[in-house]
Structure 1
Amino acid sequence: MARWGSADFRQLKRMQKKMEKLAQADFEKFCEQAAKELAARLLAKVIKRTPVDDGVLRRGWTAVSHAEAENGGNTNVKVYAESLNISKIGNVYEIEIINPVNYASYVEFGHRTANHAGWVNGRFMMTISENELDAQASKILDKKLAKFLGGVFGGD
């Protein structure tokens, strides 16, 4: 009869426990938190880019927040993003960021002058902010995922 030797299965047992821990991890919550973080970053960028003028347009980015209403209008972007509703369509998590101020689209994309003789260029505060965040999103999500998986696979 042949001798095959001995095997130490302790590492496989540890790996099995880590895989069980991963299976129990709340990916839904992770995805929602990632979406909220990206929304907070987008809001921070777009608010910073929005012209101040009388301040109405800039404040409009957070005008629909429940958290802001409860705190008398004194919330930061992170708190506001945490209060946002997330919709999940298939595998896509979506947060809608709007500015309900009636002239926001004119500032964003441009408009004719009052006498219709000229054109005022748009500021593209949302468009530029979206493009910036899109370029950074994969790096942000990679770090967030590494931290999440580190919590699952980190210790024994």
Structure 2
Amino acid sequence: MGNMGRFDVSGMKELQKGLSELDRQTDMFLQACAKELAARLLRMVVKRTPVGEYGKSYVTDADGSHVRYKAGKNKGKVKRATVKKGGTLRRGWTAGGPARGYADSLPVHHWGDTYAIEIVNLVEYASYVEYGHRTANHKGWVRGHFMMTISEQDLQTIAPQILEKRIREFLGGAMKC
């Protein structure tokens, strides 16, 4: 029959060890991917959330021009009221429910092959800013800002590249590629 030659299986044993290690670390890897995507979504939605301005009342003349000081050391300067900025809605965004902190401590919910992290805003008027609402006199409509909807769509476009990079790193570590 002839000589079959030699075959070294040490590389196969290393591959088997790497694959068994992959199997043990898969759940942690998937949770880390979910946390990264949730953190990115949270950052995007916070950035996109509008900040209200309240008390923006400048002292004006009857014709609408700014009133200037007539005498004294401030002569010629415009009288202004201080502008109070909002930010309650922007500060209201959290991942994983109320009073959550860092991305590492986010609770990941796992159902079957789905990993989920909640991104919520518990400010009572958040849905009105997101989707829009009727005016107080019921004669008009205030358009929504869709900060969560648009951020979610943006994340769906970039998620494949993010996950592909993470998967390459994860598999590369186990297979020593």
Bin of the TM-score, shorter chain as denominator length = 0.7 to 0.9
Aligned residue for 1:144? 166
What letter matches 2:30 in structure 1?
C
Preserved CA contact (<8 Å) 1:65 1:83: no
Please report how far the alpha carbon of residue 140 of structure 1 lies from its aligned counterpart in structure 2 after TM superposition: 0.8
Q: CA RMSD in A?
A: 1.5
Output the CA distance in 1 between the equivalents of 2:168 and 2:5: 35
Separation in 1 of the partners of 2:99 and 2:33?
Answer: 19
Instruction: Give secondary structure in 2 for the equivalent of 1:98.
Output: strand
Q: Does the 8 A contact of 1:87 with 1:94 survive in 2?
A: yes
Whether 2:157 is the aligned partner of 1:97: answer no
1:19 aligns with 2:16: yes
Output the CA distance in 2 between the equivalents of 1:145 and 1:31: 10
Matches of 1:116 and 1:153 in 2, distance apart? 63
4+ residue segments displaced more than 6 Å: none
Residue ranges of structure 1 left out of the alignment (5+ in a row)? 68-78
Residue 90 of structure 2: aligned partner? 58
Q: Distance in 2 between matches of 1:35 and 1:90?
A: 14
Point out the structure with the larger helix share.
1
1:118 corresponds in structure 2 to: 140
Structure number with larger C-alpha Rg: 2
The answer on whether the counterparts of 1:46 and 1:129 sit within 8 Å (CA) in structure 2 is yes
Percent identity of equivalent pairs? 49
Deviation digits for residues 21-44 of structure 1 (CA, Å, limit 9, x no counterpart): 221230000000000000000001
Task: Report the AA paired with residue 21 of structure 1.
Answer: G
TM-score normalised by the chain length of structure 1: 0.84
Deviation at 1:66, TM superposition (A): 3.4
Contact in 1 for aligned 2:21/2:174 (Cα 8 Å): no
How far is 1:96 from its partner?
1.0
Distance 1:19 1:47 in 2: 44
Cα drift, residue 111 of structure 1: 0.4
